[in-house]
Amino acid sequence: MTAARMRKIARVALGRLERAASAADLALRRARRALSGRSDLEREAEHWSGPGGNLLTWQDHPLVRAYINRRVSGDPAVNWIDALARDFGSFDRGLNLGCGAGDLEAHALAIGLCRRFLSVDISRPALDRARARLPNSVEFLRADINTITLEPESFDVAFAASSLHHFTGLPHALDTVRHALRPGGLFVFDEFVGPSLFQWRDRQLEIINDILAALPRRLRRDLRRPLFHKTRIYRRPLDDSSRDSPFEAARSEEILPMVAERFEIVRRRDYGGAILHMLLDGIAGNFRPGDPADDALLLRLIETEQNLEARGEVASDFCSVVARRPA
């Protein structure tokens, strides 16, 4: 038997072992979820209570952030919040739905975008971290945004940073924002608006998996589970109870149509993600920032996604929107 044949057999065997280990890991996580006895809302709050990882997702990588910024603002150094301040000026009172640890508030206050905030989240630990780092000009409210009520016409601007796609009560949340904004107030969000419940399109999955299979093994190491390598992306079963975030992409496809029914769309900037989002999830940090070979490969992947989007083979799964409550 030739050495090449032996290497091929070894790769096939290793792939089978990795798939079996992944299946066992999934079964274990499902069993733990079933035994925990916690509600979906409690699990959602726990999922967003921990600190973020380092270069785990596509948007964590500096080259991808620059690409997104360029599509959103025209400048690789200007993100969606900075672009709002640049193009729309400053506001008095802001509302943030799903504030987490207060990153948006900290930046908005630092650049003078808002003078004060009401910040809402379901996670108590995240709110505790936000309180510890932010000034008294930020008021915090622990509440379920799916059922929340707010004082009418009391905010100049409302924000949602990757939170809308977690709201099962999306119509109520959007009605509440519209009700809480002053006439002419802005609703600004940066969101995943792709397939609900991550029910990826067939062509999308085919392209992602073809690219993933072609990546060098070192770039496929799973940074969340270092003993594993990422081998394939699957469409999630609709009854998958193993998800750490039960409300992930709950009604993501409905966000843009529902917003358009309630607000005037002032500006919408699509910025892709149909390929890069799931391709790079859990492995983005393997592309070492500043490494010439890794940077060149990642830039080729970015260009590939742009070309696929331009040809209509994939749609943009992410966008940044500025909407206005009618006067």
Please report, for the domain that includes residue 318, its CATH number.
3.40.50.150
Same domain, 4 and 125: no
- Per the DSSP assignment, residues forming a β-bridge with 181 are 155
Q: What is the mean pLDDT of residues 191-201?
A: 97
Q: Can you tell me the distance from the alpha carbon of 304 to that of 210, in angstroms, rounded to the nearest whole number?
A: 12
Above 50 in pLDDT, residue 74?
A: yes
Same domain, 96 and 149: yes
Same domain, 235 and 261: yes
Same domain, 4 and 143: no
Lowest-confidence pick of 131-145, 192-206, 228-242: 228-242
Which DSSP symbol is given to 51?
P
Same domain, 79 and 8: no
Structural domain count, the chain:
2
Q: Which two tokens stand for residue 218?
A: 């070192």
Q: What is the mean pLDDT of residues 301-322?
A: 98
Residue 167's pLDDT is 97
Same domain, 171 and 262: yes
Same domain, 74 and 9: no
Q: What is the number of residues in the chain?
A: 327
Domain, as residue range, for 24: 1-37
pLDDT tens column, 75-133: 999 999 999 999 999 999 999 999 999 999 999 999 999 999 999 999 999 999 999 99
Q: What is the mean pLDDT of residues 50-57?
A: 67
Residue 5's pLDDT is 62
Q: Can you tell me the distance from the alpha carbon of 325 to that of 46, in angstroms, rounded to the nearest whole number?
A: 33
Same domain, 152 and 22: no
Same domain, 25 and 92: no
Same domain, 47 and 184: yes
Q: Can you tell me the distance from the alpha carbon of 280 to that of 57, in angstroms, rounded to the nearest whole number?
A: 6
